[in-house]
DNA sequence: TTGTAAGCGTTATCAT
DNA sequence: ATGATAACGCTTACAA
């Protein structure tokens, strides 16, 4: 059984089988082809029966386009991007589109390189490229249909989340339970999302009340390093730029005998499940699965442009790392 | 600047530019091509200067191979597989091969489906398919060059890790610090690696001393659920089937006021960094980056077959969740 | 060493 | 409605 490891079936085989021309077969097999219903049926039956599968390379060459999409992510080890990859891929599969993946290992130069080298091989890009400069990114994409995820770049379709509002929710929650000294541990310099969260923070907190610690290149280590400065500054609560930063903070503070949330409240960002295995973390959930699916839809079903941009809502999830401000 | 949104540069353009024939250009650009050093240099310079990039579709059609590889993973949200994806991708890029990724969401039927639908589009597969049956997998792959990662299937090149030895190391470590009642929390039924770890456990522990808890479909929840049974059985130490299972256990035991490692020692499996953000976990490291790189190398540089199979060593990493057995 | 020419499987144009 | 033919860009005998 199955042993039919034979040479691949082509439209020529079908044509010969049916005594018609390859072009007719091609027409019968393609969407808008003009053929008699009878012929179409016969061709489809024969194709089915012979086990014909269209040769994408040949079709690509003829059409000048590939049936695939390039996904650029900075680091698959980061669960945030692993989830984006998962959902990009699953949505693309529904739309019969292959996903060609490139992990740039957080190197801005690599981001541009892989884009350039894939540009001709794919129909478009879903891009998570937090590091490279706007203009360099624009130049590298060079007109290729693209959707930028989790970052806003002029002239592109961008699927982002309302981080400013997420920050507002976090701070409102902390204030409601009595906190006044609320710090912010920021992310890597030059990242769009780091800037947005900071903007949200500055919108909510008076200049004289601000405690900003950062930038921090590494999430967990940045959190660890921030702990002492946080205490020195007299903060009773902190919003970090992502969940791993919050975990770093939590780990160091616990070592310093600081009780969470009795002595200090912590709000993370992203809402990753994996971050809560250690400790139920209050966090601002950032929709990433939904962003990925929308990105694919925009890329494959529209001519993606600035008009397709979407800002998705964020949502504070209160768990066990926030509580009333210490009374003192 | 950059505005060269022109038609793609082909070898014909280079040929015309240099006043030579396209075939010479092709030869100069390909590995084993026979050309005079001078010509080769000139061609490479011109290619560089004109911004030539080879058209994969055309090359695929001519060569009959795709310069692409299919990567099948059960779940990208699982850091173990996210890391495999990352390294598969990075190694493939070095070898100028595209990676088409498919996340099967732990569905055995999906594993077979995506393999069948990608089979013609790629040169081969790197397969992480812990769930589907051996024969169904074999049938779906149907002779396509394939390397199976982290599972052993007859007739295929398999890159696995020595889980039996990892288990031996874990138990030896625990015994050396006085433990006698050592339990094992197992993984999902039907998974190759679950069976291997159990086999290692049974090799080391006398039947009358065995405490096996499982199978557990979900890692973290399985760990949580195992906690009480573990205590009831009088275990002083436990080896879990992966790190998240250990974390689930840790979380529940901590809630039960059990001190780790004073009252109970825990050894995880996999050695994930992300698992140790919460608490430095003693764990058996399973090489996954290396497995991924080897899989790609075997796939692209050999005709992969059973003779290419490799068993990689595992390595116990002692951290903070194991300690001397309680004296009493 | 280099050029010529055929062919990979598909789609599109143009006749018929 | 269908068939012949060219074209997509590349590789590779084969010829020179």
Flag whether pLDDT at B206 surpasses 90. Answer: yes
Comparing every residue's Cα with the C1' atom of nucleotide D12, the nearest one is B23
Cβ burial of B148 (10 Å; 0-12, 13-18, 19+) is: buried
Note the CA–C1' distance, A274 to D14, in angstroms.
Answer: 62
Note the CA–C1' distance, A300 to D1, in angstroms.
Answer: 32
Domains B11-161+289-312 and B163-286 share a fold: yes
Contact (CB<8Å) A251/B278 = yes
* Of the candidates B301, B143, B296, B57, the residue with the CA atom closest to the CA atom of residue A8: B143
Write out pLDDT tens, residues B25-39: 999 998 877 899 999
> How close, in Å, is residue B299 to chain A by CA atoms?
18
SS3 B209: helix
What does CATH list as the number for A11-161+289-312? 3.40.50.2300
Select the more confidently predicted residue: A6 or A37. A37
* Of the candidates A178, A184, A169, A177, the residue with the CA atom closest to the CA atom of residue A233: A184
Beta bridge partners of A100: A70, B100
Helix H, strand E, coil C: the string for B247-270 is HHHHHHHHHCCCCCCCCCEEEEEE
- Residues of B with CB below 8 A from A57's CB? 56-58, 60-61, 66
Contact (CB<8Å) B101/A99 = yes
Please check whether strand D approaches the CB of B256 to within 7 Å.
Answer: no
Interface of B with A in 179-238 (CB under 8 A): 220
> In chain A, what are the helix, strand and coil shares in percent, each to the nearest 5?
45, 15, 40
Q: What is the pLDDT of residue B5?
A: 42
Q: What is the pLDDT of residue A30?
A: 87
Please check whether strand D approaches the CB of B12 to within 7 Å.
Answer: yes
Q: What is the pLDDT of residue A278?
A: 75
Distance between CA A280 and CA A262 in Å, rounded? Answer: 15
Return the sign of the alpha-carbon dihedral for residues B84, B90, B96, B99: positive
Note the CA–C1' distance, A100 to D10, in angstroms.
Answer: 22
Contact (CB<8Å) A77/B77 = no
Whether the CB-CB separation of A267 and A322 falls below 8 Å is answered with: yes
Please check whether strand D approaches the CB of B288 to within 7 Å.
Answer: no
Flag whether pLDDT at A3 surpasses 60. Answer: no
Whole-model pTM over 0.85: yes
Contact (CB<8Å) A244/B120 = no
Write out pLDDT tens, residues B144-158: 999 999 999 999 999
What architecture does CATH give domain B163-286?
3-Layer(aba) Sandwich (3.40)
Contact (CB<8Å) B220/A277 = yes
* Of the candidates B231, B163, B176, the residue with the CA atom closest to the CA atom of residue B202: B163
Q: CB distance from A114 to chain B under 8 Å?
A: yes
Q: CB distance from A126 to chain B under 8 Å?
A: no
Interface of B with A in 134-173 (CB under 8 A): 139, 142-143
Mean pLDDT of chain A: 92
> How close, in Å, is residue A284 to chain B by CA atoms?
19
For residue A41, what are the CA distances in angstroms to A34, A45, A215, B26, B163? 13, 6, 64, 43, 54
Please check whether strand D approaches the CB of B55 to within 7 Å.
Answer: yes
Q: What is the pLDDT of residue B7?
A: 65
Note the CA–C1' distance, B14 to C6, in angstroms.
Answer: 21
C1' nearest to CA of A36: which nucleotide?
D1
> How close, in Å, is residue A34 to chain B by CA atoms?
27
Write out pLDDT tens, residues B77-117: 999 999 999 999 999 999 989 999 999 999 999 999 999 88
Flag whether pLDDT at A4 surpasses 70. Answer: no
Q: Which residues touch strand C (CB under 7 A)?
A: A 7-8, 10-12, 22-23, 26, 29-30, 52, 54-55, 58-59, 61-63; B 19-24, 27, 34-36, 38-39, 58, 61-62, 64
Cβ burial of A30 (10 Å; 0-12, 13-18, 19+) is: exposed
CA dihedral B260, B261, B263, B268 (to 10 degrees): 80
Spacing of C-alpha B3 from chain mean position: 42
Q: What is the pLDDT of residue B260?
A: 95
- DSSP state letters, A249-275: HHHHHHHTT--TTTT-EEEEEE--TGG
Q: What is the pLDDT of residue B263?
A: 97
A20 Cβ contact list (under 8 Å, min separation 6): A39, A43
Q: CB distance from A320 to chain B under 8 Å?
A: no
Boundaries of every domain in chain B: 11-161+289-312, 163-286
Q: What is the pLDDT of residue A7?
A: 65
Select the more confidently predicted residue: B169 or B54. B169
Write out pLDDT tens, residues B260-318: 999 999 999 999 998 888 789 999 999 999 999 999 999 998 889 999 999 999 999 99
Whether the CB-CB separation of B214 and B190 falls below 8 Å is answered with: no
Which of A53-67, A188-202, A280-294 bottoms out in mean pLDDT, i.e. has the lowest? Answer: A53-67
What is the mean pLDDT of the segment spanning B214-234? 95
Q: What is the pLDDT of residue B2?
A: 33
Distance between CA A75 and CA B82 in Å, rounded? Answer: 9
């Amino acid at each position: 059984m199955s042993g039919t490891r034979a040479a691949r079936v082509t439209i020529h085989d079908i044509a010969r089988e049916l005594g018609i021309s390859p072009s007719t077969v091609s027409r019968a097999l393609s969407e808008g082809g003009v053929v008699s219903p009878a012929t179409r049926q016969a061709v489809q039956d024969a194709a089915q029966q012979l086990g014909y599968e269209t040769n994408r390379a040949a079709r690509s060459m003829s059409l000048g386009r590939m049936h695939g999409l390039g996904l650029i992510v900075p680091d698959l080890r980061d669960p945030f991007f692993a989830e984006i990859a998962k959902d990009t891929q699953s949505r693309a599969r529904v739309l019969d589109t292959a996903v060609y993946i490139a992990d740039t290992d957080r190197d801005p130069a690599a981001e541009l390189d892989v884009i350039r080298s894939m540009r001709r091989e794919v129909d478009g890009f879903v891009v998570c490229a937090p590091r490279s400069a706007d203009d360099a990114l624009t130049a590298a994409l060079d007109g290729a249909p693209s959707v930028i995820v989790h970052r806003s770049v002029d002239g592109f379709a961008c699927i982002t989340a309302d981080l400013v509002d997420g920050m507002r929710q976090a701070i409102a929650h902390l204030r409601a339970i009595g906190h006044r000294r609320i710090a912010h541990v920021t992310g890597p310099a030059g990242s769009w999302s780091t800037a947005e969260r900071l903007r949200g923070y500055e919108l909510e907190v008076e200049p004289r009340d601000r405690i900003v610690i950062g930038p921090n290149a590494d999430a967990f280590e940045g959190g660890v390093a921030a702990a002492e400065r946080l205490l020195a500054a007299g903060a009773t609560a902190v919003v970090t730029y992502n969940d791993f930063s919050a975990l770093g903070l939590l780990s160091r503070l616990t070592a310093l005998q600081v009780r969470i949330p009795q002595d200090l409240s912590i709000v993370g960002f992203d809402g990753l499940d994996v971050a809560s295995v250690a400790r139920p973390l209050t966090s601002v959930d950032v929709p990433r699965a939904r962003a990925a699916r929308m990105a694919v839809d925009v890329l494959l079903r529209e001519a993606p442009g600035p008009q397709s941009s979407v800002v998705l809502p964020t949502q504070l999830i209160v768990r066990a790392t926030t509580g009333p401000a210490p009374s003192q």
